[in-house]
Chain A
Amino acid sequence: MLGKLFKYEWKSVSRIGGLLLLIAGGITILGMITVRLSFGHVMMDEDSAMGALTAVLGVMGFMIFCLCLASISYGIFIYLGVRFYKTMYGDEGYLTHTLPVTNHQLLLSKILVGGIWSILVALTMALAMLLFVASFAGTATIADGSWWVGFADVWRGIFETFADMDAGSKARAVIVLLLFLLTAFASIAGLYGSITMGQLFKKHRGLMAIICYFVYLFVVWLIGFVGGIFMSINLALLSDESDVLTSYMDTYIIGQVVILIMGVVMYFVAHYINEQKLNME
């Protein structure tokens, strides 16, 4: 049953998810072309007034690009939230909740699909960023292909940074990556759990769902913040660890662990409410 639920959830979400990724791809290509056409041969000339102007425009273009990407990232999140609400607690909920499945299967299938898609979107955003930034590098037009050289440079830079890290930092980096994947699911669980909490209220359940979500975000931030301060003080006192990158990663890791734990908590909250407190309409 879980497989079937997953299949149908995946079908529905990919319609919109795929569309968003396509849009992201389109924006990236558009951005890259714009950059190459506008700045290709002028970028490296820092001294002239033209150089300064193009630098400013370049930064603006970059910010607009980031805005677009951010919208798409939020877009998938909002879509997942709205879809969860509609399929679980809207009219469609009458269909959903009379399927011969357990609440665990229902929630898990949705969290799995939501998590995978948010990872896909995040990876695509990262790739888009990379491509866009890389298109600034290089000094020639697209025609002779040397923008690709700039792109390769960026990749090489990343790999070198990683290779240069010591064992401890490498381990941390791997953990960061793993956490990134896991917290995608935890964040979705947090979203779905908050929406479910909205069902505890008699009226304005949609509004309460949104409010609960912000409360959830605040709680996560608060715990992470306090924990982070605590950890930083601890580390500063107890070790000689002065590598900035490492301490950033540590703070990040703490925040992510909080999200993970909260994700599990919210999952069980959502399950409990669906089992015991469900009251459709």
Chain B
Amino acid sequence: MNELIEIVGLTKSYDERSVAVNNITLTLPKGKIVGLLGPNGSGKTTLIKMLNGLLKPTRGSIKINGRFIGPETKARVAYLPDRNCLPEYRTVSEMVAYFGDFYEDFEKTRALEMLQSLNIDPGTKFKTLSKGTKEKVQLILVMSRKADLYVLDEPIAGVDPAARDYILRTIINNYNPEATVLISTHLIGDIEQVLDEVIFMRYGQLALYTSVDNIREKYGKSVDAYFREVFAC
């Protein structure tokens, strides 16, 4: 079975007028790095929340590796949110222990190696780290898991170019043909070399799901350029 994520008729509505995600049907395979692209309000964040069990669908279903969303899928999904969600008063090594405790697929030695390569002292408390360093630590913790699905929400936004290179390189180095990486971003140009496929969302609906090479060959444009064309106001 090569399908990792099976989404059928997925809808999230808050009342009659406000529909965040509108009847999406989509299957994502294993072993791909997929970009989730779309303007603000397109439903990207809502979709991500539903994949992670942070929001319940109104209609439709999501299955990850054949299972509905729940503690078993959460054990196999590694989520990097677009915000700092680690407790300030804890140290880096405490969070490494925490991840190791809760996630069976967490590889502690890898995490420590990556921290060391960035000269981050595990004994430091989060509140003393700079914003960029906090983000890198969060990324390291997430990428040190051998998960089936990685969901990265804006991993390179607000990050300096050197850090961005590091993040992309980490994603590539971490690649595993049994897993899929879903990257939600609006910085398409910086990331499209790393993508296999892209999902365009608009008004809560699936506008396009195709391979990156398809766009380049068919339209002779970069994904970034094509996106701008499609979503021009």
Contacts and interface: CB of A to CB of B under 8 A. Distances in A.
A100 B74 CA distance: 5
Interface in A82-100: 87, 91-95, 97-100
Nearest to A92: B85
A231 B160 CA distance: 70
Contacts, number: 55
A4 B101 contact: yes
Given A279-B55, A280-B55, A98 B98 contact: no
A15 B102 CA distance: 22
Contacts of B98: 8
Given A94-B81, A94-B85, A99-B102, A278 B74 contact: no
Contacts of A15: 89
Given A8-B98, A100-B71, A278 B54 contact: yes
Nearest to B49: A280
A101 B85 contact: no
A98 B86 contact: no
B87 interface: yes
Interface string B68-107: 0011101101010101111101000000001001110000
B70 to A, nearest CB: 8
A93 B86 CA distance: 9
A91 B84 contact: yes
Contact of A97 (B53, B77, B87, B89): B53
B197 to A, nearest CB: 24
A239 interface: no
A280 B79 CA distance: 15
B56 A278 contact: yes
B23 interface: no
B61 interface: no
B86 to A, nearest CB: 7
Contacts of A276: 56
Interface string B171-209: 000000000000000000000000000000000000000
A98 B84 contact: no
A139 B55 CA distance: 67
A46 interface: no
Nearest to B46: A279
Interface in A224-281: 275-280
B163 to A, nearest CB: 21
B85 A278 contact: no
A99 B85 CA distance: 13
B25 interface: no
A119 to B, nearest CB: 25
A101 B101 CA distance: 12
Contacts of A102: 70-71
Contacts of B53: 97-98
Given A98-B53, A98-B54, A278-B55, A91 B74 contact: no
Nearest to B82: A94
B56 A98 contact: no
Interface in A1-28: 1, 4, 8, 12, 15
Nearest to A103: B71
Contact of A98 (B72, B77, B89, B101): B77
B222 interface: no
B52 interface: yes
Contacts of B75: 100
Q: Considering the complex of A and B, which 8 residue pairs feature the smallest CB-CB distances, nearest first?
A: A100-B75, A94-B85, A100-B74, A94-B81, A95-B85, A100-B71, A91-B85, A98-B79
10 contacts: A4-B102, A8-B98, A92-B87, A94-B81, A95-B86, A100-B74, A100-B75, A102-B70, A278-B54, A279-B55
Given A8-B98, A98-B74, 6 more contacts: A8-B101, A97-B52, A98-B54, A100-B103, A102-B70, A280-B55
